[in-house]
Amino acid sequence: MSPRRFAQPWLAAAVGAALAAAVVLPFMASPYAPPELLTALALVIGGLAGFLGGPLPGLVALLAGLGSVAVVVDRPGRVALALPVGAALAIATGLLGARVRRRERERALALTELSAIRETAAEAIVDLDRDGAITNWNQGAEAIYGYSSNDVEGRPLSRFATAQRSTGTSSSGEPMAKPFWPH
């Protein structure tokens, strides 16, 4: 599943902040609130919000999470030590998420362009899988070779190439009839 950017970065920030508070604040009633675990959760949630929404939503979620941890634990000064690490994490994951989304958009655009070329080309364009079987046969290939895509898809190209090579022109120079597909 590919990561998608939230429609609005503020939504990622709001969801991340709410999640951070929802995870941390129940520990207020606990006599034992593990600050390291709560801080780590705040860092993870800030990083996730950064990856999904960008660096700023990641920082907002991180600050909400670390602020919630500071309210719950008895020594909030220790939580502040995680702030630089969390900020770096939120920014780095935000930039990484942006890069992943940009590459996903570029890939989708390239596939759309390739599909348009494949559909409109008068030349034969044939796609093969790793075993040499035909996976796609465009209209240009249908027009040139006379086989529909249903006739050739899934069959090895080597069998088709052998059948095409065995035909050619007659001694008078006229093309010979369409070869029978070898089974």
162/155: higher pLDDT: 155
In percent, the amount of the chain with pLDDT more than 90 equals 20
For position 79, what pLDDT does the model report?
Answer: 82
Where are the chain's structural domains? 9-117, 121-166
Can you give 2-69 as a three-state secondary structure string? CCCCCCCHHHHHHHHHHHHHHHHHHHHHCCCCCHHHHHHHHHHHHHHHHHHHCHHHHHHHHHHHHHHH
How far apart CA 139 and CA 125 sit, in angstroms, is 8
pLDDT digits (tens, 9 = 90+) for 47-105: 989 898 889 888 999 988 888 888 877 777 878 888 899 999 999 999 999 999 999 99
For position 4, what pLDDT does the model report?
Answer: 52
What's the average model confidence in pLDDT over 128-149?
88
> Rounded to two decimals, what is the model's pTM?
0.63
pLDDT digits (tens, 9 = 90+) for 16-51: 888 888 888 787 777 676 788 888 888 999 998 989
| Distance (Å) of CA 41 to CA 17, 111, 136, 137, 145 | 12, 39, 48, 51, 61
For position 107, what pLDDT does the model report?
Answer: 96
3.50.4.10, 3.90.280.10, 3.40.930.10, 3.30.450.20: CATH of 121-166: 3.30.450.20
What's the average model confidence in pLDDT over 128-142?
90
